[in-house]
Amino acid sequence: MALRLPLVVILGATGSGKTKLSLELAQKFKGEIISADSMQVYKGLDIITAKATKEEQNVAPHHLIDILEPHETFTVVQYRNSALKIIENLINKNKLPIIVGGTNYYIESLLWKILIEEPGDHVKALPSRHIDHELSSEELHKKLQLLDPAMARRLHPNNKRKILRSLEVLQQKGKPHSQILNEQQGAKGGSATGGPLRFANALILKLECEQETLNERLNNRVDKMMEQGLLQELANFHKLYNENRIKNSEIPDYTKGVFQSIGFKEFHSYLTMSEEEKNSENGQLSLQKCIEDLKLVTRRYARKQNKWTRNRFLGRRDREVPPMYGLDVTNLDKWEENVTKPAIEIIQSFINQSECKYQPLPVEPVATSVPNSEDDTNFCDICERIFVGSLQWREHLRSNRHKKMIERRNRLLKEELKK
């Protein structure tokens, strides 16, 4: 897909200022913003998911926010297909598309050709291969071993969702999932992580912040959320969607839809208290713990996002990556100088096809002493656990848990020999 305008992607840890920069760029270039956040597609929980406010959304058009009910499922393929239509429409109107993320795999699905199409109504599944979704993950894994042994080696036997997906791909496409992935990787521009780049004229703006400063910013952000009414937002949502489940002794499922949002399960213990319990000393202590837990998981999530960017964008020489420009957001007093102006100049140089004085970040492969094979599956007969990938396996063999299990087994053997 050839672009007359660049596709701009803004990456950065949560709380780094992606929304602020996206609004500035949308105003400057008459662009529109496409959210790449898997939680912001759902209606509700506006505070905890850090959606752009209504006032901010009035500054520039926003897409893929508040489009689903909380209980609905939304796959990455559905996201990609929706976002690509919007991007194409904006380009045709000569409007700058600005992707703001967000969710790592959403962004990868747009930048690279790495996903397999889900079937439409016109696609007929192969009748010779029936998939029984009621089978256990172990039974499904055995079925996958027979039909696509290469893919079975990549997947943990307990990962039912991915196993089912591989079986469905085989059913829909008539050839093994592993073969399709190998074809993507072997295509011109492909790599070990998947297919080639989708856009020839994309650029990435990476917001960078010193970790200590970011941690403080995130803690303050949670406090501000509380002031904005986070607790009431969670309580209302809990009452609307989870209360009946609890009354019927059903366990709230925090693995689906918007319920996966950071913050919802952290406040579960407090939300399930009676009003009397909430107002008690123990209730207030529980609330404070919930707030601290939210701060902790938010800081962890920010580190995880930064690690993903380093590994997936800057840590692989074999992968075609759009030029990524680092923008330092540590000092908010220098935002205009360090963030806004450089971002505008970088984008303008792409539009004008002129030389840019700012250089992209260098690709620096992550050093590993021993290569990893993601296709290796290892079973530890001592701990009775399965590990996918040689790195996982080596880490397990060095772990204290494994060593303790060996000590325990040796102790039991000695006791048995004494009998």
pLDDT by residue for the chain (419 residues), tens only, comes to 444 689 999 999 999 999 999 999 999 999 999 999 999 999 988 999 999 999 999 999 999 999 998 878 888 889 999 999 999 999 999 999 999 988 888 999 999 987 656 554 333 443 434 677 788 888 999 989 888 888 888 888 888 888 988 898 888 778 788 877 777 666 666 655 567 889 989 999 999 999 999 999 999 999 999 999 999 999 998 887 766 666 665 666 655 556 666 777 889 889 989 999 999 999 999 999 999 999 999 999 999 999 988 888 887 776 788 999 999 999 999 999 999 999 999 999 999 999 999 999 998 765 444 444 555 566 676 777 777 666 677 777 778 888 888 777 767 756 655 55
340 vs 78, 354, 368, CA distance in Å?
32, 19, 36
Sign of CA dihedral 236, 237, 241, 243: negative
Residue 42 contacts residue 258 (beta carbons within 8 Å): yes
| Cβ within 8 Å of residue 66, ≥6 positions away | 40, 41, 42, 43, 51
Number of domains, the chain: 3
One domain for residues 246 and 283: yes
One domain for residues 165 and 220: no
One domain for residues 220 and 293: yes
Domain-located, residue 395 = yes
Sign of CA dihedral 49, 55, 59, 62: positive
Domain-located, residue 371 = no
CATH number (domain holding residue 158): 1.10.20.140
Domain-located, residue 33 = no
Domain-located, residue 276 = yes
Of 267, 300, 333, which residue constitutes the final position of a domain? 300
Domain-located, residue 204 = no
Q: In one letter, which amino acid is 11?
A: L
CATH number (domain holding residue 244): 1.10.287.890
Which structural domain range is residue 137 located in?
A: 127-186
**φ and ψ of 115, to 5 deg:** -105, 155
| Cβ within 8 Å of residue 292, ≥6 positions away | none
Domain-located, residue 54 = no
Of 274, 300, 326, which residue constitutes the final position of a domain? 300
One domain for residues 217 and 284: yes
User: Judging by DSSP bridges, how do beta strands 377-380 and 385-388 pair with one another?
Assistant: antiparallel
Domain-located, residue 179 = yes
Residue 96 contacts residue 30 (beta carbons within 8 Å): yes
- What is the pTM (predicted TM-score) of this model? 0.74
One domain for residues 233 and 296: yes
